Amino acid sequence: MLYIGHQVMITDHLLASAGMDHMVCVWNVWSRDQKKARMLNFHNAAVKDVKWSPQGLFLLSCGYDCTSRLVDVEKGSETQVFMEDQVVGSIKFHPDNSNLFLSGGSQGHIKLWDIRTGKAVQNYTRNLGPILDVEFMVNGKQFISSSDVSRSNVSENSIIVWDISREVPLSNQVYVEAYTCPSVRCHPFDSTFVAQSNGNYIAIFTTSPPYRLNKYKRYESHGVSGFPIRCDFSLDGKKLASGSSDGSIYLYDYQSSKVVKKIKAYDQACIDVTFHPALPNIIASCSWDGSISVFE
């Protein structure tokens, strides 16, 4: 059985999901009989996020047991555990070095880990609320964090651009509206990134200083309504997909910001969407009720 709060991540023919049942599941997308390829039960509490390694051989997951865990998918064995003093809610592999990954958690701490040593090599600390998402910029030298600032009511800290090597914010006044942003994604080619806003739209920013918000362009046909709804760019960067509180997947044209397709997928909120890494017409999604779907 699947439970509320799944996140999905697809690579080649396998799809990984993580949820409130403590499990990470690996699914064979194209199999008609045995869909579930592996069940990985290494976490001691709900799992918040899961990512494939760049080569697709390992899965990295994190969750409420205050750990990130690396698993060899073929062997089904856990290879490393990265302990923290906070619930870990978001993880992201470095785009150029698969030995490095970021983690962000409930105490507002962000760490850069080196898998080879099993230790944090950088710590990014600021008076933030829980980290909602982290995203490397394409050049791998900066990253973006999104945090819940509702407790401190300091909206200018909701999105921060960081210098990786110097552990310092490059800008903390990127987004000054009073909304949290549960998801941030960089465009694969253009010098832009987007942030899913609880104001029921996706905002777009430049990835060069001073990281300006585009006040004349936004993606705003879907609903967020307080759900942790994520978005994703297609491999060619021409489309932006978003989940929605109405249970639909919205596909936007990146340039025009207009809806090109709406897929009614679930009765409850669609909280995560991800494009296939090689096949541009395949998209995976999941619902607040734990359902997972793949669309062509």
DSSP 101-114: EEEEETTS-EEEEE
Look at residue 29 in the predicted model and tell me its pLDDT.
Answer: 81
User: How high is the pLDDT of residue 3?
Assistant: 32
SS3 49: strand
For position 296, what pLDDT does the model report? 85
> CA 201, CA 199: separation in Å to the nearest integer?
6
Residue-level pLDDT at 12: 63
pLDDT for position 228: 94
CA dihedral 148, 149, 151, 154 (to 10 degrees): 180
Residues in the chain where the model's pLDDT stays below 70: 1-12, 34, 150-156
pLDDT (0 to 100) of residue 4: 37
pLDDT score, position 281: 85
- Using CA atoms, how far residue 281 sits from 10, 115, 215, 251, in Å, is 13, 33, 30, 11
Omega before 210 within 30 of 0, i.e. cis: yes
Report whether 179 contacts 198 (CB < 8 A). yes
Tokens coding 183: 């998801």
Prediction pTM value: 0.92
Task: Evaluate whether 182 touches 228 at the Cβ level (below 8 Å).
Answer: yes
* pLDDT value at residue 177: 85
